Structure 1
Amino acid sequence: MKLTHDWLGPLELPDAPRRIVSLAPNATDTLYALGLGERVVGRSAFCYRPAATLALPVVSSYTKVRWELLRSLNPDLVLISTGVQRDLLKELAEAGLPVFPLPLPNSPYGILENIVLLGGVLGVEARASRLSAELAERYNRLYGLLPPLRTYLEFDLGGPISVGRGSYVSEALRHLGLINLFADHPQSYFTPDLDEVPRRNPELVIYEPKPHRMRPAERAQALLASRGWPYPLVVNGGDELAHYGPLFFEYLEGLERQIERLEP
């Protein structure tokens, strides 16, 4: 298969790759959602969904590769994301590996576009179109279901991170009917000024902890109390809104149900 990529220029990839190493959780999620899990021979440490991936060898962190292991797997396709993985993308391309990067989406519709894009690379276009259509229908059912609550979103990524303009997460909150407190911020992802949050009068806080944390809701409640924030709080399971694979839509549905259950 010959194609031209915006980042890498002309590419030549196998027509039907059978040994895929996925270094991006969104790509791994998509492969399994398309029924191609048997083709995956290696993963990153952050590719742990679905559970079947846990049996695969860990080839990388998010930005560092175990080169000897990667080469021993003899991949005919290496999948990666852009964004924070762009330096690793460059290293893989310069090493002559058959690498294909999926772009960071700017809206949830970009997640759907990536599914179709990957389906084309893997020769399962009809399957990818069907999955994308099903997820689009689920996403559209969420439109405007929630009241326009002024919402502060915080990811725990070793420190607080929030979202501004151009983020697929901010767009998803808008789609639900919520008002992102920092929708006017010029950066998609940034470290917020925590003193600024109360001045913007939030009516809801969404907190996404690191995954696999014990008692995340209790920890988040204690964190807000330490800041003197009395706002209604929703805590998800971790690495949900930050995940931009097909499972994102399931997580967004879960978030909507959590917020609906909040007492007025």
Structure 2
Amino acid sequence: MSITWKRPSHLRTRENTPQPRLRLGRAGAVPRERYLLSTFLVIVCGFTGCRRPAQPPPASGPARRIVTISPSADEVLCAIGATERIVGVSTFTSYPPELTTRPRVGGLFDPDLEAIVSLDPDLIVVRGHNATLEDFAARRGIRLYRDPTEGLDDLRTCIRDLGDLTGLAPGADAVLTSLEARLDAARRRAEERRAGCTPPRVLMTLARNPSELKDILTAAAGTTHDAILRQVGAENIFGDLELPYPTVSLEQVVVRAPDIIIELMPEVRVTPELQSIIIAQWSPLACPAVASGRVFVLGDDLPHSLVPSLRTPEIAERIIDILWPSQSRP
């Protein structure tokens, strides 16, 4: 990891404070362009085109050869017991680990149709809408399922649907039961921790150039991230906006005065060096989170932090620890 110092023009008016610029270039990191592209695609691919409800195709027996172009569905399929049926995955698949050696078939916007044909799938799972891919599947008589996952309710629907499509409904039921139990446990833990506390005001960033502080993508009303913050007793400072994933300015952040800033960077290895760089990047802003040093980064140990997944309860637990650290005991 090499670090240079840059003075962004949009912050020069505040004491000309130099801003640290982070260049990602070692193991565990990715080039800046790939980081931004993959982050953006993971978040918004479910919003491309019009929002269409997921429609499982007519049943023709359990799917045995599955190509998945949906990182969130990867985890679900493995959890319900369909790991060995997955014959191809998307460019962005990184979890579960057992899928990283499967053949790659591109992404939502650049599917490799020849690669898909060579894998002879009887089910394609895709997140988002791609007319070319849908026409391709229809012409070849391949069932296609659009993963609807944009929120937790959609995730529940996806689990049930994939259980039906694979003939693994009992496995899907078990996954749903476990998910609900973990979400309830996180909710109860948050209630215990926050007893008598004023809800903290939180800014959660989902994407930005990690080299400089600008073009901040955050979560607003109706998103999983907003729901997580509300569930654990926090206030999302942009929870009143209607656009699900708005890009906000530093001026807007200052006006809304977050008590805590949480940055999601799932393709970045969080080290003490990185943490100090991120804090320094935010340091020119006059807001409570910066003044108290409450700026946090959740990195590659939570690879699915940008979309609803079976690991969403883990994200909630980590946020609880950030909002209300456990008191030291004698």
Give the TM-score of the pair, scaled to structure 1.
0.86
Q: Are the aligned partners of 2:216 and 2:249 in contact in 1 as well (CA < 8 Å)?
A: no
1:212, distance to aligned residue in structure 2 (A): 3.5
Q: Are the aligned partners of 1:152 and 1:181 in contact in 2 as well (CA < 8 Å)?
A: yes
Q: 2:319 aligns with which of 249, 255, 259?
A: 255
C-alpha spacing 1:223/1:244, structure 2 compared with 1 (3 Å): same
1:257, distance to aligned residue in structure 2 (A): 2.5
| Residue aligning to 2:283 | 225
C-alpha spacing 1:136/1:180, structure 2 compared with 1 (3 Å): same
| Residue aligning to 1:172 | 228
C-alpha spacing 1:69/1:23, structure 2 compared with 1 (3 Å): same
1:163 equivalent to 2:219? Answer yes
Letter in 1 for 2:244: S
1:206, distance to aligned residue in structure 2 (A): 0.8
Q: 1:153 aligns with which of 204, 208, 216?
A: 204
Letter in 1 for 2:317: E
The equivalences for 1:76-115 within 5 A come to 76-82=122-128, 86=129, 88=130, 90-95=131-136, 96=138, 97-106=142-151, 108-115=152-159
Give SS of 1:153's match. strand
1:48 equivalent to 2:112? Answer no
Letter in 2 for 1:205: I
Q: Are the aligned partners of 1:29 and 1:247 in contact in 2 as well (CA < 8 Å)?
A: no
1:155, distance to aligned residue in structure 2 (A): 1.2
| Residue aligning to 1:3 | none
> Which of the two has higher C-alpha Rg?
2
Give SS of 1:222's match. helix
Q: 1:119 aligns with which of 156, 160, 163?
A: 163
Moved more, 29-38 or 249-258: 249-258
C-alpha spacing 1:113/1:217, structure 2 compared with 1 (3 Å): farther
Give SS of 1:249's match. helix
Q: Percent identity between the aligned chains? A: 22
1:67, distance to aligned residue in structure 2 (A): 1.5
| Residue aligning to 2:174 | 130
1:242 equivalent to 2:306? Answer yes
1:9, distance to aligned residue in structure 2 (A): 6.4
C-alpha spacing 1:210/1:105, structure 2 compared with 1 (3 Å): closer
Structure 2 distance, partners of 1:93, 1:12, is 15
Letter in 1 for 2:298: N
Q: Are the aligned partners of 1:176 and 1:256 in contact in 2 as well (CA < 8 Å)?
A: yes
Q: 2:243 aligns with which of 187, 195, 209?
A: 187
Moved more, 233-242 or 72-81: 233-242
Give SS of 2:230's match. helix
Q: Are the aligned partners of 1:156 and 1:210 in contact in 2 as well (CA < 8 Å)?
A: no
Give SS of 1:60's match. coil
1:157, distance to aligned residue in structure 2 (A): 5.0
Structure 2 distance, partners of 1:262, 1:17, is 46
Greater RCO, 1 or 2 (C-alpha within 8 Å, sep 6+): 2
Structure 2 distance, partners of 1:51, 1:9, is 29
Structure 2 distance, partners of 1:38, 1:219, is 42
Moved more, 180-189 or 7-16: 7-16
Give the TM-score of the pair, scaled to structure 2.
0.70
Letter in 2 for 1:139: L
Gaps in structure 2 of 5+ consecutive residues:
1-51, 210-214
1:245, distance to aligned residue in structure 2 (A): 1.9
CA-based RMSD of the aligned residues comes to: 2.3
C-alpha spacing 1:178/1:93, structure 2 compared with 1 (3 Å): same
Give SS of 2:205's match. strand
C-alpha spacing 1:10/1:134, structure 2 compared with 1 (3 Å): closer
Structure 1 distance, partners of 2:298, 2:102, is 27
